[in-house]
């Protein structure tokens, strides 16, 4: 037995139906015996297979969020790449180095990046040192 999630193209009704096999589904569809219990339309499309009874609505939502997250993550990774290439890494010394850079007469061309606590960042801000905060993903190979 196989359970399919079916979607009516006419009224957008989503329902589940059991078939003895995927072949049976194809056969029923071919001879137009597959119709929407809501509006009777035969414009039924198989969507996702539902292996168990879970809220598929939430599942779809999660996938969309995951996609969004991956998109954002990729953007950040691109940004990280740029930063790694163009900035000096100062690790946990960020607040100290940013201050030194800010008060130094010699303007360094290269910017710096590193780790700082929220407290340090707000301290820097109070001193007029602008910082950008981005979430940081650690590569597994590092
Ligand atoms: Zn329908």
How far does residue 19's CA lie from ligand 1's centre (Å)?
Answer: 19
**What was the pLDDT predicted at 142?**
44
How far does residue 6's CA lie from ligand 1's centre (Å)?
Answer: 10
Task: Report the C-alpha gap between 99 and 104 in whole angstroms.
Answer: 8
- Which tens digits make up the pLDDT trace of 48-97? 654 555 555 666 666 777 788 788 888 888 888 888 888 888 888 888 88
How far does residue 42's CA lie from ligand 1's centre (Å)?
Answer: 8
Res 128 pLDDT > 50: yes
**What was the pLDDT predicted at 141?**
46
Percent of the chain with pLDDT over 90: 23
Answer whether 0.75 is exceeded by the pTM. no
Phi, psi of 135 (to 5 degrees): -65, 145
Which one, of 110, 134, 105, lies nearest residue 121 by Cα? 134
């Amino acid at each position: 037995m196989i359970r399919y999630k079916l979607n009516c193209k006419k009224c957008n009704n989503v329902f589940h139906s059991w078939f003895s096999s995927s072949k049976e589904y194809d056969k029923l569809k071919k001879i137009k015996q597959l119709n929407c219990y809501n509006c009777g339309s035969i414009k039924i499309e198989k969507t996702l297979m539902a292996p168990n009874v879970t809220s598929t609505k939430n599942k779809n939502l999660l996938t969309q969020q995951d996609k969004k997250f991956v998109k954002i993550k990729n953007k950040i990774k691109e940004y990280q790449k740029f930063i790694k290439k163009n900035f000096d890494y100062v690790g946990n010394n960020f607040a100290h180095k940013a201050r030194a850079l800010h008060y130094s007469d010699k303007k360094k061309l290269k910017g710096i990046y590193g780790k700082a606590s929220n407290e340090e960042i707000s301290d820097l801000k109070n001193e007029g040192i602008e910082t950008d905060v981005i979430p940081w993903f650690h590569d597994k190979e590092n």
